[in-house]
């Protein structure tokens, strides 16, 4: 047996340069492909949904933490189009279900709400994050508001528990979403809907 046959065979692998070229090509392909799959409208609609879920949840937890009623009021313009929402903190808790007047409303103070003078108002027309997103409809048993009691549960008119639940529909060019607030518990669920 010769020395040459005793040596193990050497397997050829990829060089570092070859691997870097492959990684660069994959990265470039991904950079070109992803923007066409997920456009800015998708991000806007999802941001609006996340913001609304977070703010509804905040209203529930703030009601529980402060042991006071919080009302989420959806805002309408002169043409009756819904363009945003606000969280109200009525001083007179017995009047939480009264008619909404934007000039007299008792808005919850929110230190990060600079453009609204400290009032907790989210206006889709003024916030670039929600560009192209529309609040199609709001229905809380015929009302455009939902309130939460001192235990964080949904509250109907005249201090009665809100048992039927309600929903908010949001739409952008890339799709629509349905937010549902269940009766009694106030559990919030979200689903994408096809129209």
| pLDDT, tens digit (0-9, with 9 covering 90-100), for 57-89 | 999 999 999 999 999 999 999 999 999 999 999
- Determine the pLDDT at residue 54: 93
When pLDDT is averaged across residues 132-139 and rounded to a whole number, the result is: 93
- Indicate if the pLDDT at residue 52 is higher than 70: yes
137: nearest Cα among 180, 91, 185: 180
Both structure tokens of 33: 């492909």
Instruction: Please name every residue paired with 123 in a beta bridge, in sequence order, or none if there are none.
Output: 84
Sequence-distant (6+) residues with CB within 8 A of 148 are: 59, 60, 63, 64, 69, 70, 71, 72, 154, 155, 186
CATH architecture assigned to 51-193: 3-Layer(bab) Sandwich (3.55)
pTM score: 0.77
Q: What is the pLDDT of residue 9?
A: 67
Which three-class secondary structure string do you get for 30-53?
HHHHHHHHCCHHHHHHHHHHHHHH
pLDDT band at 131 (very low <50, low <70, confident <90, very high): confident
Question: Is it the case that residue 130 has pLDDT exceeding 90?
Answer: no
d(CA 62, CA 163): 21
Token pair, residue 76, equals: 């309408």
Give dist(CA 127, CA 131) in Å, integer: 7
Q: How far is CA 38 from CA 174, 181, 191, in A?
A: 9, 28, 18
Residue 47 scores a pLDDT above 90: no
Residues 141-152 have pLDDT tens digits of 999 999 999 998
Contacts of 151 (CB under 8 A, 6+ apart): 63, 64
pLDDT band at 168 (very low <50, low <70, confident <90, very high): very high
Mean pLDDT of the residues in the chain: 85
Instruction: Give the H/E segment covering residue 88.
Output: strand 82-88
Give me the pLDDT at residue 118, please: 78
Q: What mean pLDDT comes out for the span 177-181?
A: 94
Listed by start position, the domains of the chain span: 51-193
């Amino acid at each position: 047996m010769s020395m040459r046959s005793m040596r193990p065979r050497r397997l050829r692998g990829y060089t570092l340069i070859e691997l870097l070229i492959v990684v660069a090509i994959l990265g470039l392909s991904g950079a070109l492909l992803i923007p066409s799959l997920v456009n800015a409208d998708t991000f806007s609609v999802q941001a609006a949904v996340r913001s609304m879920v977070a703010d509804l949840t905040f209203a529930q937890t703030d009601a529980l933490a402060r042991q006071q009623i919080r009302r989420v009021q959806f805002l309408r313009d002169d043409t009756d189009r819904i363009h945003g929402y606000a969280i109200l903190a009525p001083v007179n808790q017995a009047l939480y279900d009264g008619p909404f007047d934007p000039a007299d409303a008792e808005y919850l103070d929110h230190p990060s709400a600079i453009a609204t003078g400290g009032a907790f108002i989210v206006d889709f027309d003024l916030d670039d994050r929600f560009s192209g997103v529309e609040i199609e409809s709001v229905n809380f048993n015929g009302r455009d508001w939902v309130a939460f009691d001192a235990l964080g549960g949904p509250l109907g008119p005249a201090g009665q528990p809100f048992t039927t639940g309600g929903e908010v529909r949001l739409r952008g060019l890339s799709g629509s979403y349905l937010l549902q607030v269940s009766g009694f518990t106030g559990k919030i669920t979200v689903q994408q809907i096809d129209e």
